[in-house]
Amino acid sequence: MTRRMKRVVVSSGLREADIRPPALLSEFKRLSVQDALEFFGDPAQLVEVNCPACDSPDTRVVFTKNEFFYRCCSVCRSVFVSPRPTSDALANYYANSRASRFRVQHYSRDTAKARRYHLLTSHAEWMGQIYDEAGNPEARGYADLNTCSPEIFDEIGAQHIFQPLLTVDPLLDPTGVCETAVQVVRRDTLAGMGAISAFEKVEHQFSPAAYLQSVGGALADGGLFFFTTRTISGFDLQILWGKTPYIFVPEHLNLLSVEGIALLVERCGFELIELSTPGQLDLELVRHAAKNDPSIKLPPFIAYLLENRDQEAHWDLQEYLQKHRLSSHVRVVIKKLQKTEVATHE
């Protein structure tokens, strides 16, 4: 891990229900699980992969979900689906599944207000600040990949740091949603960007390494890639493991560990600028999952802590998880190395 790397602790009174209303999430999950069987149900069409973080072939099955196998890497402890659908099958799924349509029609729109207040403002501040500290001042273009919450562009636009603002193959078109001018562009036309973001996308890529390399191709030298994803190193996933109710195929093919993310970034020719887990919901998620699923048996200490200690104790633990990168919501900033820098690393 790099010396300059940042860790961040935040608190904003975020509640799980504000971002992911239970009724919407459960319908989205129900459709996803059904569609996954329909689109990817034929085992002959699935392909085996090495660890998507460190490329090790040394892996073993640790749990199954809806007939898909989740494997754990012996080297970096990332957890991932293998065999998995091919990139083409995934592209077809995202273009044509009912779950995808549902996400666009309900999920993103209905939760936009809570998201904007809690997440988008802090995402925009985060990106602006890191760009000021570590970005390439010559490259000021910003692009968001497969935009789900177009309101991010109003938050970014208000900072007057990036210009132009681009959305690449958006899930929700910013036209009519944003007040800020945003160009809709295709992925293959993107080049020379100062900053690119992808929120909750890495977990469902067929190959996170190919994804990072393609982002690298669209960045200027010294350009920054900002992404958020779920990490298996987080408290709630470690406690709930195969019983985690909000992990499913194909949304969560890659649950990379904190160590795995660092290895992935390095082998794709980037420098790690920040890898932090500012998640605020691990304890609440564990509590909800255990309440709704009697088959989940929490470790006695966790059950005792949840039942017999107050909010303050729970928040102290959550803060500890953030500080030591043990929450499952991870955010990462990586910087594209100049060609000469890549050469010296080889």
| Rounded Cα–Cα distance for residues 151 and 178 (Å) | 6
Residues binding Zn ion: number (CB under 5 A): 8
CA separation (Å) from 316 to 6, 304, 321, 323?
A: 20, 15, 9, 10
Residue 78 or 229: the one with the smaller Cβ distance to Zn ion is: 78
> Backbone phi, then psi, for 41, in 5-degree steps?
-70, -20
CA separation (Å) from 173 to 43, 89, 188, 272?
A: 35, 24, 18, 31
**Shortest distance, position 330 Cβ to Zn ion, whole Å:** 16
For Zn ion, which stretch binds (CB under 5 A), given 51-59, 98-106, 180-188, 219-227?
51-59
With CB under 5 A as the contact rule, the residue among 53, 139, 152, 237 that binds Zn ion is 53
3-state secondary structure of 30: helix
For Zn ion, which stretch binds (CB under 5 A), given 68-76, 92-100, 211-219, 301-309?
68-76
From the list 171, 225, 224, 227, the residue with the least C-alpha distance to 199 is: 227
**Shortest distance, position 78 Cβ to Zn ion, whole Å:** 5
With CB under 5 A as the contact rule, the residue among 56, 92, 100, 238 that binds Zn ion is 56
Q: Where do runs of H (alpha helix) occur along 203-308? A: 208-218, 235-240, 258-267, 282-292, 300-308
Residue type (1 letter), 329:
H
Residue 76 or 232: the one with the smaller Cβ distance to Zn ion is: 76
46 touching Zn ion, by CB under 5 A? no
| Rounded Cα–Cα distance for residues 146 and 170 (Å) | 4
For Zn ion, which stretch binds (CB under 5 A), given 22-30, 45-53, 154-162, 204-212?
45-53
> Backbone phi, then psi, for 202, in 5-degree steps?
-60, -35
> Backbone phi, then psi, for 25, in 5-degree steps?
-65, -40
Residue 72 or 172: the one with the smaller Cβ distance to Zn ion is: 72
Residue 75 or 185: the one with the smaller Cβ distance to Zn ion is: 75
For Zn ion, which stretch binds (CB under 5 A), given 48-56, 142-150, 209-217, 270-278?
48-56
For Zn ion, which stretch binds (CB under 5 A), given 49-57, 127-135, 149-157, 204-212?
49-57
With CB under 5 A as the contact rule, the residue among 49, 51, 166, 232 that binds Zn ion is 51
| Rounded Cα–Cα distance for residues 140 and 160 (Å) | 10
Q: Two tokens at 99?
A: 């779950």
With CB under 5 A as the contact rule, the residue among 33, 49, 72, 76 that binds Zn ion is 76
DSSP secondary structure code for residue 253 in this structure: S
Residue 25 or 75: the one with the smaller Cβ distance to Zn ion is: 75
For Zn ion, which stretch binds (CB under 5 A), given 72-80, 139-147, 205-213, 236-244?
72-80
Q: CB within 8 A of 255, min separation 6: which ones?
A: 70, 78, 79, 80, 203, 230, 231, 232, 237, 247
**Shortest distance, position 219 Cβ to Zn ion, whole Å:** 25
With CB under 5 A as the contact rule, the residue among 36, 54, 317, 321 that binds Zn ion is 54
**Shortest distance, position 75 Cβ to Zn ion, whole Å:** 5
**Shortest distance, position 43 Cβ to Zn ion, whole Å:** 24
| Rounded Cα–Cα distance for residues 281 and 288 (Å) | 10
With CB under 5 A as the contact rule, the residue among 33, 73, 239, 333 that binds Zn ion is 73
Q: Two tokens at 138?
A: 């010559």
Q: What is the binding site for Zn ion (CB under 5 A)? A: 51, 53-54, 56, 73, 75-76, 78
